[in-house]
Structure 1
C-alpha cells in the first residue's frame, strides 16, 4: 500500500507522530544538457549573462524551493531545514560542443520524517532556473535524470548507483 493513501485509497498526510526524531539527510541530482550555443558561454563553472550569474542564481532558486517544498507538494510535512547546499558542475564538452551540468542538492534536518522531496525539489528548481536563464540563447536545453542519490536517517538508508554526468 502507498503510504500517502488510507485504507479507502484517499490521499492523506503520513502520521509521523510516533516516529523518532533523528538526523536525516538526502541528496538529489538533476542533469541539464546545454546545447553548443549555450555551452560555449560556460567559463569557470559559471555563465554570466544579462540576467546575472546563471549558476549562482540557480543555486539560490534551488535553496528557496527546498524551503517551500511543503507548499508545492500537498502531502509533504513542513520541516525546519537545517542544511541545504546546491552545487552545479559543468561537465566536459562532448564532441558536438554540448555539455551536461550536474545539479546536486543536499538537504539535512533533525526531524521525524526525511527530506528526500526537499532535495528533489531543490535540484529540479535549480535545473529549471538554468533553463529559464538560458532559453533566450536556445530553447534546446534538456533537463533529465532527476533522481534521489542518497538518504540517511530514519527507517533505512539508501545509496543509488551513480552514473557519470
Structure 2
C-alpha cells in the first residue's frame, strides 16, 4: 500500500502536467493569428489560400496599375514577374511607396484581390525585404542595385 505522502506527490505531479499541457495549448491557440506567412504573387496565383487566412504578399508594384480612388482606397497590382495579383488598400500609404518599388502587404485574399490591412514599403533607396528579393530571383526578374554594369 502506498503512503499518503507518495500518493499526494503523484497527484501534484499529474496536476502540474495537466496544467502545463493546458497552458501550452492555450498559448498555441492564442498565437495562431500572430503567424503571418509570406507568399509571392506566383504562389497565390497557383494555389490561392483560403479567404480566412491572413498572410503577407510581396513583390514590385506593377507599372501603370496604381489607381488612387475617391477617398483613401488605393488599388494596384503586385508582381514578382511570374504573376500579378490585384491589391486593394484603404488607408495612408508610406511615403516611399510607388510604381516599380518593392512592397510587402498584410491581409487576406478574397479569391479575386488581396485585401490589404497594412502596406510596408522599403525604407530607403536600396533596401528590399529578403522575401521579396527571393521571390523576384525565383522568377528571374531581380536586378541587384549594387551590381556594376559590365562595359
TM superposition score normalised by structure 1: 0.24
Q: Which structure has greater helix proportion?
A: 2
TM-score normalized by structure 2?
0.25
